[in-house]
């Protein structure tokens, strides 16, 4: 025998469905059928207020049969309701991913020290405008990337690849690097040395092996038109005294990786800029991070050990 609580719950669900069917499709039924449904509904509503589960179950079954007789063509089955609910949730999630927010995983070390391999971050897709999904076309623009923004974009030279870099030049700018210092429109962007032997972990392209970052890496704090962030530079390799000048055309941005000697950015492959239509969004927060130096439970003893695992200190870290 069903419990009183479950009997009442099933009855209330059926009464809710009955009210919806009568409201939407009541005119399609005969006066006699309409009256029968109304009477059965009233009886069930009265029974729900009692403490007799058998009576509630019997009247629930009676109303269910009447609804099937009178509204069988339009009544949704439980399976159909489930499919529609799941389908609606999937469509909402897909719409959010296409137009509002998307997760991006950092696959390489080109943005070290700002972003580490294995960081999972959210990108805001509506900050600059609305973009046609799967196409490098901006439907409408209400904002523009600023110097210092970290953006995810579809590569202009490798169309099937998404990249993440920092905006250094905006339309109309002339960008130069003189002895590794960034100049914008002839104005030096100041930087400060923080460490001369910065250590980090890099990873092979097939993601099968971790290894220490190569060379002697110097850590800097760079001020890019008021946007402060950290950059990395190898001190043990030769650098050209000057790079550029690079002129940024209308509707595009010039990008660099924060790991300046390990980033294929706007300086390479014949130089290129990123059209607004290729920009998928701005990276704004790290939500999850897994990689070398994280913490995980060792097998056997259950003690914590430093291996490839959760880097909890990076969870929910804002991206600057």
Helical residues (DSSP H) of 26-123, grouped into ranges = 31-48, 53-71, 78-99
Q: Are 315 and 301 in contact (CB under 8 A)?
A: no
HSE-CB at 114 with a 13 A cutoff on CA atoms is 28
Q: How far is CA 175 from the centre of its chain?
A: 31
Taking CA atoms, 293 is separated from 105, 115, 210, 220, 230, in Å, by 17, 14, 10, 22, 20
Taking CA atoms, 155 is separated from 161, 162, 191, 277, in Å, by 6, 6, 28, 11
CA–CA separation, 40 and 121 (whole Å): 55
Q: Are 232 and 162 in contact (CB under 8 A)?
A: no
Can you name the residues that pair with 162 across neighbouring β-strands? 154
Residues labelled as active-site residues: 110, 165
Residues with Cβ within 8 Å of residue 156, at least 6 apart in sequence: 272, 273, 274, 275, 278
Closest CA to 248 of 212, 274, 283: 274
CA–CA separation, 106 and 163 (whole Å): 9
**SS3 for 28?**
helix
DSSP string for residues in 122-149: EEESSSSEEE-TTSS-EEEES----TT-
């Amino acid at each position: 025998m069903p419990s009183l609580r479950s009997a009442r719950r099933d009855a209330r669900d059926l009464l809710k469905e009955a009210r919806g069917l009568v409201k939407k499709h009541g005119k399609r039924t005969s006066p006699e059928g309409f009256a029968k449904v109304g009477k059965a509904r009233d009886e069930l509503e009265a029974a729900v207020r009692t403490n007799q589960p058998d009576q509630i179950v019997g009247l629930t079954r009676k109303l269910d049969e009447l609804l099937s007789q009178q509204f069988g063509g339009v009544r949704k089955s439980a399976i159909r309701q489930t499919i529609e609910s799941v389908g609606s949730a999937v469509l909402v999630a897909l719409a959010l991913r296409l137009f509002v927010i998307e997760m991006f995983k950092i696959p390489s070390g080109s943005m070290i020290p700002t972003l580490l391999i294995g960081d999972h971050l959210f990108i805001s897709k509506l900050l600059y405008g609305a973009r046609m999904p799967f196409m490098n076309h901006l439907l409408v623009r209400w904002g523009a990337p600023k110097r210092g923004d970290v953006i995810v974009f579809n590569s202009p030279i490798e169309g099937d690849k998404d990249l993440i870099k920092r905006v250094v030049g905006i339309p109309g700018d002339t960008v130069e690097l003189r002895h590794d210092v960034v100049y914008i429109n002839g104005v030096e962007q100041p930087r400060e040395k923080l460490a001369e032997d910065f250590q980090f972990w890099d990873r092979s392209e097939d993601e099968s092996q971790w290894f220490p970052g190569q060379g002697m890496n110097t850590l800097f704090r760079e001020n890019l038109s008021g946007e402060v962030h950290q950059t990395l530079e190898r001190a043990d390799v030769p650098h050209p005294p000057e790079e550029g000048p690079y002129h940024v055309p209308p509707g595009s941005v010039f990008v660099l990786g924060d790991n300046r000697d390990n980033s294929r950015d706007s300086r390479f492959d014949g130089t290129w800029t990123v059209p607004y239509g290729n920009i998928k969004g701005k990276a704004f927060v790290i939500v999850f991070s897994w990689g070398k130096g994280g913490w995980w439970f060792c097998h056997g003893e259950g003690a914590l050990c430093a291996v490839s695992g959760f880097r909890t200190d990076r969870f929910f870290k804002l991206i600057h």
